[in-house]
Amino acid sequence: MQELIQQVVSGLASGAIFASLALALVLIYNAMGLVNFAQGEMAMFATFIAFTLIIHGLNYWIAFPLTLGIAFVAGVVIERVVIRPVERAPVLTLVIVTLGLATLVNGAAGFLFGYVPRSFPSPFSVQTINILGAFASFQDLSVIAVCGIVLIAIYLLLQRTTIGLTLRAAAHHPEPSRLLGVRVSWMLALGWGLASAVGAVSGIMVAPILLLEPNMMQTIIIYAFAAAVLGGIESPLGAVVGGLIVGLTVNLAGAYVPFVGGDLELAVALAIIVGVLVIKPNGLFGRAAVRNV
Amino acid sequence: MYRQVQQRLRSAPPRYWLVLVLVLFFIGLPTVITSFQASEWTLVLIFAIVIMGLNILVGYSGQISLGHGALMALGAYTSAILIHRYQVDYLVTIPIAGLVTGLIGFLLGIPALRLSALYLALATFALAVVTPSLIKRPAGLTGGVQGILISSPDPPQFAKDAFASVTSGPPMSSDQWMYYLSLISALVLFWLAWNLIRRRPGRALRAIRDREVAAASYGINIAGYKTMAFGISAFYAGIGGSLYGLAIGFVSPDTFPLALSFQLLVGTVVGGLASIAGPLIGGVFTFWLPIVSSQFVGSQSWIPAQIASVFQKAGPAVTYGALLIVVMIFAPNGVAGLIRTGYMRLQARLRGAGDRGTGQMPPDPQTV
C-alpha cells in the first residue's frame, strides 16, 4: 500500500510533465491542425537556456520565468521564419518541416552545449513528507504543483481574456475572424509562442529527474503524443487528463507488470497511441471528425 | 529485326542513355576504387533501395512513414537470425527478409488506412523510437544488446576469377561482392518500381494521393492500393535491411536508431518525392553528407579542433534539419525536381522564344 501510493504520486508527477508537453502540442494543433514534432526539442533547448542562466548565478525562480519568456519569443520567431512560408501547404509538408526543425534544434543544442549529460539543479528538496501515513517525495508534489499552476494559467488565459478569445476564434474560424479584424496569421505565431513556453515548463521540470542532454525529450515527446491522442488531440482538458492517465499507467505498469519492467515503458505509450487511434480516434474528449466530400 | 533495333535506339529518349551510362558507371566503379571505398558505395546503394521503397509510399501514395528504420531492422534481423540460428544460406535469406518485412508492412497498412497522414506520422514515429527497446527484449532470439554477428559472405569462385581477370589484380573481396550483390538488387528493384509507377498501379496510387474521393468514384480500390503501397514499401525496406546487416557484418539494437528513420526521410525528400531518380540521389546524399562535411571541417586548419570535433557529432543533424526545411520551402520536388524543371526550361529555350510561356505542365505536379 505504502509503495503503491508512492508509485501513484510519482506517476502523477510524470503525468503532469507529460500533460504540459501534450498541452503545448494541443495548442499548436488547435491553431493550425498540425502536430509539432519539434515540440520536445524546443523544450529541451529552453531547458538548456535555463541551465545556462542558473549556472551563471541567476536565482532559480528568476531564471524560470525568464526562460519561459525567451521560449515564448523563440516560438513566435520560429513560426514567423520556418512555418509561415508553408502555412497553407499540405499536412505532409508541414510534418516534414517540423521534423526538420526537430533535427535542427537537436543538432544545434549538441553543437552549443555538447552531448555530456548534466545534472540540472532542482529547488525542491528530495526528502519525503508524510501524508496520512504514506510517504510522498516532496520533489514529485512540487512538480505536480508547478505544472498545475501553469495549466490553470493557460486555461484562464484562453477562456477569460480577450487575447484568449481572439486566439480561439482565429484557430476555429479563421475567415470570419479576419473579417472582424483579427490578425489571424499573428495569432498563429502567438499560439506557437504559448506552446513553446508551456513545453519549456515540462523540459525544466523533467530535467532534474532525467539528466539534461540533447536527446532528453525524445522519450518524453512520445508520452506526450500518447497523452494528446488519448485526450483527443484538440482538447486542452483532454491533454491534461490524458497526460495524468499516461503517467499513471506507465509508472504502474513499469513497477507492477514484470513483463513491462523498466525498458518497455515506452512500448506502453506506443500501445496507447495505436490502440486509441484504431479503436477511438477522437480520444476521450475530442469531437467526432466530420469530413465534407 | 536489325533495322527495328536501330530505329528504337535512335528514338530512345535521352534519359534511357543516362540510365545506361549510370548503370555502366556503377558496374565499373569497384574496379577503380579500393575495396573499402566499395563497401561505402554498397551502403549508398542500400540506402537508395530503402529510399525507393519509402518514395513509393510517401511520394506516390501520399502516406507517410517515419518508421522505416524499424522495418529495416526487421529485415536485417530476419536475415541475421536465419543465418545465425538455422544456418540458412545468406543469399536465400535476402528475399525471405524482404517477404517477411513486406507481409508485416502490409499488415501495418491495415490500421494505417484508418489514420490521417498526421496520425500515421505520429504512430510510425513512436514505432521508430520504441524499436531499439523492442529488439532488446527477446534476448534469446535477437542477442539482446550485443546483437548478432554475421560473418561476411565469401564471393563465389567465378566472380573472384572474373574480377581478377578484369582488374588484373587480386580476386574479388567480400566487400566488393557485397557491392555487386547490392547493385543487382538495386537494379532489379528500381526496374520493378519504374514498371509499377508508370502502369496502372502507379496511376491509381497517384490518383488516390491527389483526390481520394475522385479516385474512389472511378472504381479504384482505395484500401487495396494503399495497403499494397505499404507492403511494397516494406518489402524494399526489408531487402535493404537484410543487405545492410550483411554489409556491416552485425546487427544490434543501436544499428537502427530513430536517426536512421530520419536519414531515410531526408534522403527521400532531398532526392525528390515521386521520382525514380530521386532515391538514388537521396542515397548518395544521405550517406556522403555527414562524411564529406565532417572531413571538410576537419581539414580546415583555421577551425579549432575542439569545434571540429563537436561538429562531427552535431553537424550532420544541423545540416539535415536545415536542408529538410529549406528543400520543403523552396524546392518541394527535391533535387530531381530541380533538374527536371531546369531541363525543361533549357529545352523550351532551345526550341525558341516562341514556345516560352505556353504554360507547359510539369510531368508531375507538386506532390506534398
DSSP 3-state assignment of B331? Answer: coil
Highest mean pLDDT among A30-34, B4-8, B140-144, B205-209: B205-209
Task: Kindly state whether residue B23 falls inside one of the protein's structural domains.
Answer: no
Residue B324 has pLDDT above 70, yes or no: yes
Domain of residue B255, CATH code: 1.10.3470
> How near does any CA of chain B get to the CA of A227, in Å?
12
Task: Kindly state whether residue B77 falls inside one of the protein's structural domains.
Answer: yes
Tell me how far apart the alpha carbons of residues B126 and B113 are, in angstroms, rounded to a whole number: 17
Taking residue A69's Cβ as centre, other Cβ atoms within 10 Å add up to 13
**B-chain residues within 8 Å CB-CB of A83?**
none
Q: If pLDDT is split at 50, 70 and 90, which confidence band does B232 have?
A: very high
DSSP H or E run through B250: strand B250-251
Task: Kindly state whether residue B22 falls inside one of the protein's structural domains.
Answer: no
DSSP 3-state assignment of B149? Answer: strand
Domain of residue A158, CATH code: 1.10.3470
Tell me how far apart the alpha carbons of residues B144 and B39 are, in angstroms, rounded to a whole number: 26
Which residues 335-354 on chain B approach chain A with CB closer than 8 angstroms? none
Arithmetic mean of pLDDT, B20-47? 84
Task: Kindly state whether residue B31 falls inside one of the protein's structural domains.
Answer: no
- The percent of residues in chain A predicted with pLDDT above 90, rounded, is 17
Distance of alpha carbon A180 from the chain centroid? 32
Task: Kindly state whether residue A273 falls inside one of the protein's structural domains.
Answer: yes
Which residues 52-91 on chain B approach chain A with CB closer than 8 angstroms? 58, 62, 64, 66
Task: Kindly state whether residue B27 falls inside one of the protein's structural domains.
Answer: no
* Interface probe with A: pick from B110, B324, B366, most Cβ of A within 10 Å: B324
Per residue in A235-245, is it b (16+ CB within 10 Å) or e — as a string? bbebbbbbbbb
pLDDT in tens, A155-205: 888 888 888 888 888 877 888 888 888 888 888 888 899 999 999 998 988
| Structural domain that includes position B89 | 36-355
Task: Kindly state whether residue B1 falls inside one of the protein's structural domains.
Answer: no
Task: Kindly state whether residue A292 falls inside one of the protein's structural domains.
Answer: no
Tell me how far apart the alpha carbons of residues A36 and A247 are, in angstroms, rounded to a whole number: 21
- The domain tally of chain B equals 1
pLDDT value at position B100?
Answer: 92
Task: Kindly state whether residue A107 falls inside one of the protein's structural domains.
Answer: yes
Which residues 100-119 on chain B approach chain A with CB closer than 8 angstroms? 111, 114-119
Phi, psi torsion values for B312, nearest 5 degrees: -60, -25
Instruction: Decide if B314 and A86 are in contact by the 8 Å CB cutoff.
Output: no
Tell me how far apart the alpha carbons of residues B224 and B215 are, in angstroms, rounded to a whole number: 13
DSSP H or E run through B345: helix B334-351
Q: What is the grid cell recorded at A231?
A: 485526450
Which residues 152-211 on chain B approach chain A with CB closer than 8 angstroms? none
Nearest chain A residue to B213, by CA: A293
**A-chain residues within 8 Å CB-CB of B282?**
none
pLDDT in tens, B133-177: 888 877 778 777 787 888 878 777 777 777 777 777 777 788 888
The answer to whether residues B54 and B273 touch, using CB atoms and an 8 Å cutoff, is: no
pLDDT value at position A262?
Answer: 66
Which residues 276-335 on chain B approach chain A with CB closer than 8 angstroms? 310-311, 313-325, 328-329, 332
Task: Kindly state whether residue A251 falls inside one of the protein's structural domains.
Answer: yes
Task: Kindly state whether residue A290 falls inside one of the protein's structural domains.
Answer: no
pLDDT in tens, B96-116: 999 999 998 888 888 888 777
| Structural domain that includes position A274 | 2-279
Q: What is the ipTM of this complex?
A: 0.81
Task: Kindly state whether residue A285 falls inside one of the protein's structural domains.
Answer: no
Task: Kindly state whether residue A15 falls inside one of the protein's structural domains.
Answer: yes
Map chain A to HEC letters.
CHHHHHHHHHHHHHHHHHHHHHHHHHHHHHHHCCCCCCHHHHHHHHHHHHHHHHHCCCCHHHHHHHHHHHHHHHHHHHHHHHHHHHCCCCHHHHHHHHHHHHHHHHHHHHHHHCCCCECCCCCCCCCEEEECCEEEEHHHHHHHHHHHHHHHHHHHHHHHCHHHHHHHHHHHCHHHHHHCCCCHHHHHHHHHHHHHHHHHHHHHHHCCCCCECCCCHHHHHHHHHHHHHHHCCCCHHHHHHHHHHHHHHHHHHHHHCCCCCCCCHHHHHHHHHHHHHHHCCCCCCCCCCCCCC
Tell me which amino acid residue A172 is. Answer: H
Task: Kindly state whether residue A211 falls inside one of the protein's structural domains.
Answer: yes
- What mean pLDDT, rounded, does chain B reach? 82
- The domain tally of chain A equals 1
Distance of alpha carbon A98 from the chain centroid? 15
CA–CA distance from A38 to each of A41, B260, B307 (Å)? Answer: 5, 17, 25
Distance of alpha carbon A229 from the chain centroid? 13
Using the Cβ of A293 and the Cβ atoms of chain B, whether some distance falls under 8 Å is answered with yes
Phi, psi torsion values for B251, nearest 5 degrees: -130, 140
Of residues A79 and B257, more confidently modeled = A79
Distance, first Cα to last Cα, chain A: 54
Burial of A254 (0-12, 13-18, 19+ CB in 10 A): middle
Q: What is the grid cell recorded at B54?
A: 519509402
Instruction: Decide if A95 and B64 are in contact by the 8 Å CB cutoff.
Output: yes
Residue B335 has pLDDT above 90, yes or no: no
Task: Kindly state whether residue B178 falls inside one of the protein's structural domains.
Answer: yes
pLDDT value at position B26?
Answer: 84
Task: Kindly state whether residue B17 falls inside one of the protein's structural domains.
Answer: no
Arithmetic mean of pLDDT, B61-74? 87
Q: Which residues contact B124 (CB under 8 A, 6 or more apart)?
A: B64, B65, B66, B67, B70
Using the Cβ of B12 and the Cβ atoms of chain A, whether some distance falls under 8 Å is answered with no
